[in-house]
Structure 1
Amino acid sequence: MKWHGTPLSGLTVIETDTVADARGRFVRVFCDAELAALRPGLHFPQINLSTTFARGSVRGLHFQRPPAAEAKLIRCLSGRVLDVAVDLRRGSPTYLRWHGVELSAEQPRQVFIPEGFAHGFQALTDDVQLLYLHTAAWNRDYENRLRYDDPRLAIDWPLPVTQVSELDRHAPLLDDQFEGVEA
């Protein structure tokens, strides 16, 4: 595994080697020993799989506040997405900046999103599946979301947005009361 920094400190793209032959491909998704240099003691008590049927659909932007803040390791298992992380860390030099990474089933890469970031994605193809490894279990009491189309974030979704959940559509816009999160 090789990791590459992004313009947002802590947000990391992880390239994984692919072994391929006539039978198919093999890719290691997670290895304690290799990822210890990125984050010692990385532990994932919850793993989720999302399926998004239609190209143009957006999921997010989701995050959990402390004490249930979570880091995520995201990998695309089928299709292609623009995976987006927004820095919500109070005092960060990149506070409220976003960065997008294209993930696909054909690329041997995944993205590590640390605590203090909101996460979302847009399906660039039909029938997308994402595998999420979470460092904390989902907790309704600490769940939060931001609007995918918040003008203050100005996320440049590559396709017209075709579908969004009701919860995501009615998420709050950022205002002067938003103080970010402690990470």
Structure 2
Amino acid sequence: MNLHIGPLSVSNSKINGLKIIQVKMVTEGRGTVRELYRQSSYADLLPDTVSAWSQVNLTRTRRGAVRGLHGEAMAKLVTVAYGSAFGVYVDTRPESDTAGAIETVALKPGVQVFVPQGVCNGFQALDDDTEYLYFFDNEWVSGMSGTALSPLDPALTIAWPIPIDANNREQISEKDAKAPSLRDITGL
């Protein structure tokens, strides 16, 4: 039986604090085990960030649909459990050296992104029934502080893989379509 162990690794991005993580994966004849989170390993990868997760959500999203861009008052660890997605991250933190920076990541099972507080997170599902997993360091509450940014803002020049119809509510929520622009939020 062939055994392959892919190690846990992390790389930096264009956005301060945003990390792209390849999870530890063990593959053999029966399939693959992905280690989504191990506190001791992540403490080494992400020192001085998150010591515990308070909430975990899983969304199932149709191909072509967009969720976000949202930057609530919580750090997030995001990944795809099933399918694939085009992940988009925008730094809307006014005090950040990378304010206005945009990072895109091809998300598939085994690829994670650590999103610091104040960085907007969004994605477009590229497969039917894509399952997107969020770990939050704070519990979400209605009215919590944060930022919402329109994924349709032309100034972002995001090349969404599947064209977005701003009026199609099965593809984008009214709230996301009508969210402010980056210029409205940061003046950039």
TM-score, scaled to structure 1? 0.87
- Unaligned runs of at least 5 residues, structure 2: 1-7, 166-170
Higher helix share: 2
CA distance in 2, matches of 1:25, 1:72: 24
Q: Secondary structure at the match of 2:80?
A: strand
Offset of residue 157 of structure 1: 1.1
1:30-69 alpha-carbon deviations (Å, 9 max, x no partner)? 111111121345211010001102x2111101122xxxx1
- Map of 1:126 onto structure 2: 128
1:92 aligns with 2:76: no
Between the two proteins, what is the percent identity of the paired residues?
Answer: 37
- Map of 1:10 onto structure 2: 17
Q: Which residue identity lines up with residue 79 of structure 2 in the other structure?
A: R
Say if 1:82 and 1:101, in contact at 8 Å, map to a contact too. yes
1:109 aligns with 2:111: yes
**Which of 49, 73, 80 is 2:77 aligned to?**
73
RMSD: 1.7
- Unaligned runs of at least 5 residues, structure 1: none
CA distance in 2, matches of 1:13, 1:174: 23
Q: Secondary structure at the match of 2:155?
A: coil
Q: How many residues align?
A: 172
Relative contact order, CA 8 A, sep 6+: which one is greater?
A: 1
- Map of 2:142 onto structure 1: 140
Provide closer, same or farther for how the CA distance between residues 58 and 33 of structure 1 changes in structure 2, counting only shifts above 3 A: same
- Map of 1:156 onto structure 2: 159
- Map of 1:49 onto structure 2: 58
TM-score, scaled to structure 2? 0.85
Q: Which residue identity lines up with residue 140 of structure 2 in the other structure?
A: W
